[in-house]
């Protein structure tokens, strides 16, 4: 089968691998759509510390089950499925609390073992979820939406009216759409890119340019302020936009060694709640429901649908300019 392979740190190949064979409890998925994530670039740089090379990247994918292992009775050949990439140990303290995403030895398809940028992917039967007749491109958004919902769950409260989201990239936009689905009525995006602000506006979100006078009017105003850029300077400024009693979510992936200054007096005096969120926690079925409810808005989050070879090139360099979510979409 064709596969993109991270052979070692900063070493990408588009090559052939033997077709996987399912053991007991496994299924083989023919991948139909698979999205690039910022995490893939971190895996390539070995910033995740797993050093699991060689590895096929890709943890946001969907496809059709083409083979099942001996004792699999929950899934059948021909089923259209989305993959939950995470597999947890099941016994550590986090796992005992059902926090799979915080497992001390969390593994993931596309990170610690072969993932979705290959013709075929070997996964546990328990990691696939039926997608009905949803398009594969939308179904491959289930994983990023799962991460978004995990972030929403960390901070959302029924009293929230106004949210300010920094970063109108694919994850920020999915966050805005999920917050809207939760009933947050006024959602505003801030970004340095006019193109991205224009795009956010096309989703009927309000927009405010980074560094503009209008952004200054957001001081102490947002019930919820979300950092979805991964830029430490943006993370550092987040608290100043949060209303008294409001919440802040650190959702973007900042460099692991970045540090910011936060005034504890401000957190105390204005009773702010600051939260983080990581990955997704067994919520693919709920993600699929939310995506189905978004309809065409979900499709607009994907800017590129390309052949696998192009994906390999973009993983070896950087994502295309002005891109949102970039996916490999297999021709029929
Ligand atoms: Zn991801
Ligand atoms: Zn665990």
> Binning pLDDT at 50, 70 and 90, where does residue 332 land?
low
Inform me whether the pLDDT recorded for 271 exceeds 90: yes
Q: Which pLDDT value is given to residue 226? A: 98
Q: What is the pLDDT of residues 111-121, one digit of tens each?
A: 999 999 999 99
Inform me whether the pLDDT recorded for 183 exceeds 80: yes
Cα 86 to ligand 2 centre (Å): 11
Cα 304 to ligand 1 centre (Å): 16
Q: Which pLDDT value is given to residue 52? A: 86
Kindly state which CATH superfamily the domain 2-140+301-329 is placed in.
Answer: Medium-chain alcohol dehydrogenases, catalytic domain (3.90.180.10)
Computed on alpha carbons and rounded to an integer, the radius of gyration of the chain in Å comes to 20
Inform me whether the pLDDT recorded for 48 exceeds 80: no
Cα 96 to ligand 2 centre (Å): 8
Cα 28 to ligand 2 centre (Å): 25
| Residue range 146-276 in CATH 3.30.710.10 | no
Query: Which residues have a Cβ under 8 Å from the Cβ of 64 and sit 6 or more positions away?
Result: 29, 30, 32, 78, 79, 80, 81
Cα 170 to ligand 1 centre (Å): 11
Which whole number is the average pLDDT over 256-285?
Answer: 97
Cα 101 to ligand 2 centre (Å): 8
Which whole number is the average pLDDT over 194-198?
Answer: 95
Domain ranges of the chain: 2-140+301-329, 146-276
Cis geometry, peptide bond prior to residue 237 (ω within 30 degrees of 0) = no
Which whole number is the average pLDDT over 173-184?
Answer: 97
Which whole number is the average pLDDT over 252-262?
Answer: 94
The span from the CA of 312 to the CA of 4, in Å, is 6
């Amino acid at each position: 089968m064709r596969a993109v392979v991270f052979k070692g740190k900063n070493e990408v190949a588009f090559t052939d691998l033997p077709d996987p064979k399912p053991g007991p409890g496994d299924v083989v998925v023919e991948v139909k759509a698979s999205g690039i994530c910022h995490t893939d670039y971190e895996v390539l740089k070995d910033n995740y510390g797993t050093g699991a090379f060689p590895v096929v990247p890709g943890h946001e994918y969907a496809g059709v089950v083409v083979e099942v292992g001996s004792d699999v009775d929950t899934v059948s050949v021909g089923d259209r499925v989305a993959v939950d990439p995470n597999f947890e140990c099941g016994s550590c303290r986090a796992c005992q609390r059902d926090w799979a995403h915080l497992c001390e030895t969390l593994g993931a398809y596309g990170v610690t073992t072969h993932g979705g940028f290959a013709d075929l992917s070997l996964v546990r039967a328990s990691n696939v979820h039926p997608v009905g007749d949803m398009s594969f491109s939308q179904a491959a958004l289930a994983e990023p939406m799962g991460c978004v919902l995990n972030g929403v769950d960390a901070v959302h409260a029924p009293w929230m009216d106004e949210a300010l989201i920094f970063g109108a990239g694919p994850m920020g936009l999915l966050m805005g759409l999920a917050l809207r689905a939760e009933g947050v009525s006024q959602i505003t995006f801030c970004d340095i890119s006019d193109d991205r602000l224009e795009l956010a506006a096309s989703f009927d979100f309000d927009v405010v340019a980074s560094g503009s006078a209008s952004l200054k009017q957001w001081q102490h105003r947002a019930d919820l302020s979300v950092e979805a850029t991964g830029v430490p300077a943006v993370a550092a400024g987040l608290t100043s936009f949060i209303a008294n009693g409001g919440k802040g979510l650190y959702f973007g992936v900042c460099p692991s060694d970045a540090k910011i200054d936060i005034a504890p007096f401000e957190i105390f005096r204005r009773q702010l709640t600051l939260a983080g969120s990581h990955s997704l926690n067994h919520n693919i079925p709920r993600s699929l429901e939310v995506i189905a409810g978004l309809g065409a808005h979900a499709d607009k989050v994907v800017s590129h649908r390309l052949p696998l070879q192009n994906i390999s090139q973009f993983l070896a360099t950087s994502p295309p300019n002005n891109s949102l979510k970039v996916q490999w979409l297999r021709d029929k």
